[in-house]
Amino acid sequence: MKNIVLVGFMGTGKSVVGKRLAKELKMRFISTDDIIEDMEKRPIAEIFAKSGEPYFRKVEKEVISQAADSENVVIAAGGGAVLDEENIAILKKKGIVVCLNAAPEAVYERTKKHKHRPLLNVDDPVSKIKELMDKRAPYYAKADYQINTSGMSVPEVVKEIIKITNA
Ligand code: S3P
């Protein structure tokens, strides 16, 4: 059984879906963001603010490389992880990569209560979400499968992933 890797924009449900999927398939759940925060002993917002995004991406790359080499895991990758082509290539070696998609407005609704995503802590988050989504579309398109989560519940998304990956 290959690993299952969830990619996609912030707020598309990678963590919540990934946890349930892992439980259902009796696999281990790994969130690259959580590992980065554990390793760095500080929240992502602080890493961005004090050390900058390039530093965050460097740590993220190391974490992706370790996670990608694990067995029997569901991996939720941070939303920007696929911007590095080596990251997606390495994740595909042992994993099936599934991209979760949602409309910008849905992402805004899901993320507005939280302040831990530094890229969305701006004056006009909806415009920022649209701009980043457009820029990143070609990278997300490299996933093996795409799921449009609009109107789907978490259990429905989990079921769909199990179906398309034959897990
Ligand atoms: C980021 C997404 C975040 C986190 C960081 C940067 C991005 O993860 O890695 O804030 O560039 O899209 P989530 O997608 O889990 O929010």
For 69-99, the pLDDT digits (tens) are 999 999 999 999 999 999 999 999 999 999 9
**Does the Cβ of 125 fall within 6 Å of ligand 1?**
no
In CATH, the number for domain 3-159 is 3.40.50.300
Ligand 1 centroid distance, CA of 56 (Å): 10
Residue 127 pLDDT class (50, 70, 90 cuts): very high
Residue/partner pairs of 33-41 with CB below 8 Å, 24 or more apart: 33/76, 33/78, 35/63, 35/66, 35/67, 36/60, 36/63, 36/78, 39/63
Ligand 1 centroid distance, CA of 8 (Å): 9
pTM: 0.97
Q: What is the pLDDT of residues 98-118, one digit of tens each?
A: 999 999 999 999 998 888 899
**Does the Cβ of 119 fall within 6 Å of ligand 1?**
yes
